[in-house]
Chain A
């Protein structure tokens, strides 16, 4: 069976190189199959990369992305047949027979030049059985040293685009709430080259529900900094915090519409919460739900025409969808007595939410109309899913033992990896659009 998969993969690579299209899809080659053995070598130092540190860092970040994707099996660098610092980086120079002998079907090689703070890299993907370079994938990047991880993420995203027809999601950020080990909370950010998230805000208060502005330059969040919770926005470049939606009553959460023209917010009045839509400056709130039961957690459809939300109008919390003006409310979660925190895939075709099953919480992925709902997690207690920009992967918080951390899974639940480590209790991940 494994031989068949490899043969198909090989056919895929060779065919793709000719058609420049994606031919490898479906269940044979998908997240969780870990079917393509790939060797990722350090970038060859062509000047200035002391100790080859940056060249190795690029390979490490790229390898981690490819491993997370679930499509690949990373070939152990200890078995590599070429020294990246002395071997060539063109098809004519590569020992394809040697790479094939250690089981590699694909090889990533490249070079790096460092001048002061500037970095220039090139990377190439080679089809080992085809004994050729996959020319469409190779890229040259230049920028500051600090941009190197993003170059690796872009390389990973490009490799996935070539092999699967859908660009990868790794050149992006995840906003989250963390305690950083204290009793109080702040907004943190995480990129796929980090081990632990880094702090963005200085609230040292209760912070909930971070959400990206569509341009990924700012994060909306709810903070108790004024005692009563309000909706704020932090600009990443300056760390400046401004209030978007104020009182007098509590503001529980907020979400930018995908075009950035409106904000859906949950406001409390007289003990009850309803959803409102404001303009881009947080002004002119217009009520879109009006029910004595809890309404909370608005999530926009990617076309901005609909809003999914959580409501307890039928008793326990369930997932509903309505038009953005509040009309046409319909329940989409059909099973379970407790369904919360909907997230709409950026592709528009799927919803994810949190469900309670047997006293613990799991992540559900369903079609946008609620049909074909499947629970994709089984270990630990899992909450607050957020979709990646490719609609193929999700992140969510998971408690497996003491602290909660952010986990990563494909939408079928075949791959599952822990993303954040460190002392903090990490919750409420929000995955940014592509950068």
Chain B
């Protein structure tokens, strides 16, 4: 494990502290009990796009693991995405204890509920690809944010393409 990744973990832990405090106040409706069934603790979700939004931060684009992009109204893995997926698979094989949450996102062109469903399909497509490459499904959770957490707001082809993505969130180990 390289030095920069350790620093990343320390940063994630620092960020967890205020989050955990916030969750405790809300009592049993905190994330922990819900996520327990899918094998994850709440602490890892601190860098999810939603938690970032709660902290006033924009969603993260890419990161240690690159975003997988999609065509309009499509959940099919495109050939363009295979390089990113191969690098992500390599990293997951090298970091055997790491778990990830796959966030399905959509561009703004579509109805909110339909885009939530489409984002779920995109996350599942990537999960299927990862498990097909030998990554255990137990290490992968999925969620859809539809068009709710865009990287950019412009009504341009370039911006729409960035927003049509599956983003990898590395969860605590």
| A contact residues vs B (CB 8 Å cutoff) | 183-185, 204-206, 208-209, 224-229, 247-248, 250, 252-253, 266, 268, 270-273, 294-297, 310, 312, 316-317, 338, 340-341, 354, 356, 359, 361, 383-384, 427-428
- Other-chain contact of B31, A227, A268, A271, A296 (Cβ < 8 Å): A227
Instruction: Known A271-B120, A271-B123, A272-B120; judge A227-B35 contact (CB<8 A).
Output: yes
Q: Which residue of A lies closest to B51 (CB)?
A: A227
A317 to B113 CA separation, bound complex (whole angstroms): 12
B145 interface hit (Cβ, 8 Å): yes
The reply to whether the CB of B159 lies closer than 8 angstroms to some CB of chain A is no
Contact A294 B112, beta carbon cutoff 8 Å: no
Asked whether, in the complex, the Cβ of B109 is within 8 Å of the Cβ of A268, the reply is no
Residues of B within 8 A of A (CB): 29-31, 34-35, 37-38, 42, 45, 48, 50, 53-54, 56, 73, 109-114, 116-118, 120-121, 123-125, 127-128, 142-146, 148-149
Taking the closest CB of chain B, its distance from the CB of A191, in whole angstroms, is: 23
Cβ–Cβ contact A383 & B111, under 8 A: yes
Listed A/B pairs (22) with beta-carbon separation below 8 Å? A183-B56, A205-B54, A206-B53, A206-B148, A208-B113, A208-B116, A225-B29, A227-B45, A247-B37, A248-B38, A250-B120, A252-B117, A268-B117, A272-B124, A296-B116, A296-B117, A316-B73, A317-B73, A356-B110, A359-B109, A361-B111, A384-B112
Please give the distance in Å from A387's CB to the nearest CB on chain B: 16
Closest to A269 in B: B120
Assembled-state Cα–Cα distance A312/B117 (Å) = 10
Contact at B38–A294, with CB atoms within 8 Å? no
Evaluate contact between B142 and A227: CB separation under 8 angstroms. Answer: no
Contact of A247 with B124 at beta-carbon distance under 8 Å, contacts A271-B142, A310-B111 already known: no
> B interface, by DSSP: helix, strand, loop or mixed?
helix
Instruction: Decide: B143 and A296 in contact? CB cutoff 8 A.
Output: no
Q: Which residues of B contact A354 (CB under 8 A)?
A: 111
Chain B residues positioned under 8 Å from A361 (CB to CB): 109-111
A240 CB, min distance to chain B CBs, angstroms:
13
Report the separation of the CA atoms of residues A270 and B140 in the bound assembly, to the nearest whole angstrom. Answer: 12
User: Hey, which chain A residues are within 8 Å of B54, CB to CB?
Assistant: 184, 204-205
Chain B residue with minimal CB distance to A252?
A: B116
Whether B124 lies near A270 (C-beta < 8 A) is yes
Residues of B within 8 A of A294 (CB): 114, 117-118, 121
Given A205-B54, A208-B148, A209-B112, are A273 and B120 also a contact pair (CB < 8 Å)? Answer: yes
State which of B48, B56, B120 has its C-beta within 8 Å of the C-beta of A227: B48
Q: How far is the CA of A208 from the CA of B147 in the complex (A)?
A: 11
8 tightest A-B CB contacts, nearest first: A271-B124, A340-B111, A294-B117, A273-B117, A341-B111, A227-B31, A340-B114, A296-B117
